[in-house]
Amino acid sequence: MRKTMKWTVMVSLSSIMTITAGCSGTPPQGTSAGSGKPAEQAVQAPPKITMMNIFFDPEPPAANSDAMKIIRQHTQTDLEVNWVPSNTYNDKLNVTIASGQLPMMIAVQNQGKDPSIINAVRSGLFWEVGPYLKDYKNLNNMNPLVKTNLSVDGKIYGIPQHQYLTREGVTFRRDWLDALGLKEPKSIDDLYQVIKAFALNDPDKNGKNDTIGLAEYGSLGSFNSMLVYHGGVPGWDVKDGKLVPDLMTPEYLNTLKFYKKLFDEKLINADFPTLKNNQANELFEKGRAGMMIGGKQYAYDREPNLNKNVPGSKIDLVTQISGPKGIRALATPGFTSAYMFPKSSVKTEADLKKVLAFWDRMADKEIQDLMVWGIEGQHYTIKDGMFVRTSDGNDRFQKEINPLRQLRSHDVSLVSKGTLGAMRTKVDESYKIDDPVAVNNPAFSLVSNTWTERGNELNKWVEDNRVKFVLGALDDSGWNNVIEQWLQKGGDKVIAEYNEQYKKVNAK
């Protein structure tokens, strides 16, 4: 299959209208009762909704699958989707915008913060939807942080494609913890003590000094979570009413020193700068490392491989670590893409209300269950009021339901309870306690032209030198020089641009 191939899937209108006949029977199709003449349409046809969306799987979602039929029925729409492969999506989107021939809804990647999209928003290409959200029960319940992150110049122009707000936690070997007589870490010091014991106290009882406390990779994959534990804010913090880049804060330096301590004491793998994420995962799955800090899903999707390599091993999860500013959790933007509505194809306010109604219904409990569980009898059954996967439900779900994940705009708060396993349940429950203490990057909704141009370069500069600090090649004075050079490379302009916008948005 050529990577450049594009698929267009036209989802046809299914028969979702039912006309109830009286006692005398149903008249022939196309006639009215007692007249024999063509009948006026008794039920208004559902509105046609067109969309351009992205897919990441080898094939696009099936056009007439049972799941798509349920979506069309529940949303009361004739949904037509143009599915475009992820590797060509942005090019296709730019061409489509330039042509002016836009569908009613487009999925915009990078949280809608690409320069071309920002320019289109500011030129009036898309509808502002913020004032309408209050009229839709589900859309109105959007997390306030997500609303903020979604905004451009303080206004909301799209509906989010859902991502968990607090995705990260501490996954660890429960059997090692129990073998060493330790308790779950609840503070930064607890975390350090557990990492140290996992590395130095022979938790696997093989008589060898061959274990790793914390598996790390690259420029420190767990750094942002650790920065939050230490009281910092990844990206940008607010100090005295002004935005300050994280690398210039004392919390950032303290976090660097924490990692240096772990490295100096041989508590993390010494080769972390050369490893990729999957290689760090392997250290954990092969029984060498006792802890990972990252996606909460590690707690259940790493266990099968670990149990193959280390029979009888057990994994557990902690998501709340207390630091100098209390219990805090790293926040994502809360969405990966944004669905936006061009005025050229959504021509009237009435049309806008139809597409907003579509997304509001897509967040109903019925669709949340569909997106998480699938279809009753195919992917799950109900036993004693609990949803239970069928024997082949997981495989079928991945093939038939998961490809539709780009249509998920809800936060799974209404999903029916079921038996996906104790750890999956623990992870799902964690969002309820972590989201209220989520730490958000206050600059996320802002746009800096300099950052757009040089952000990758500036990030790489910081991450490379972050590793040097941990390895001992830089001291505090050396880190100050890193900051000065970051400013000279364009960081000073980024600070000025972000603060100019921040002041305008917060003055409203």
48-163+336-406 and 168-330+443-507 share one fold: yes
| pLDDT value at residue 242 | 96
| pLDDT value at residue 422 | 85
Count of alpha carbons within 13 angstroms of residue 66, beta-carbon side: 13
Q: Which CATH superfamily is domain 168-330+443-507 in?
A: Periplasmic binding protein-like II (3.40.190.10)
What are 436's two structure tokens? 């209220």
What are 136's two structure tokens? 């839709």
32 pLDDT above the threshold of 90: no
Average pLDDT over every residue of 257-286: 97
Q: DSSP label at 268?
A: B
Beta partners for residue 13, in sequence order: none
Among 22-36, 142-156, 391-405, whose mean pLDDT is lowest? Answer: 22-36
Cβ distance 176 to 314 under 8 Å? no
Beta partners for residue 57, in sequence order: none
- The Cα 261–Cα 470 span in angstroms is 8
- The Cα 243–Cα 462 span in angstroms is 18
Could you tell me the pLDDT band of residue 447, with boundaries at 50, 70 and 90? confident
Identify each DSSP E strand in 319-470 by its residue range: 321-323, 326-330, 335-340, 380-383, 386-389, 438-439
pTM of the full structure: 0.83
Assign domain 48-163+336-406 one CATH number from 3.40.50.1000, 3.40.350.10, 2.60.120.10, 3.40.190.10: 3.40.190.10
13 pLDDT above the threshold of 70: no
**Among candidates 68, 77, 58, 79, which has minimal Cα distance to 1?**
58
Q: What residues contact residue 158 under an 8 Å CB cut-off, 6+ apart?
A: 108, 112, 126, 129, 150, 338, 339, 340, 341
| pLDDT value at residue 415 | 86
What are 174's two structure tokens? 């429960």
Cβ distance 76 to 361 under 8 Å? yes
Domain boundaries, given as residue ranges, for the chain: 48-163+336-406, 168-330+443-507
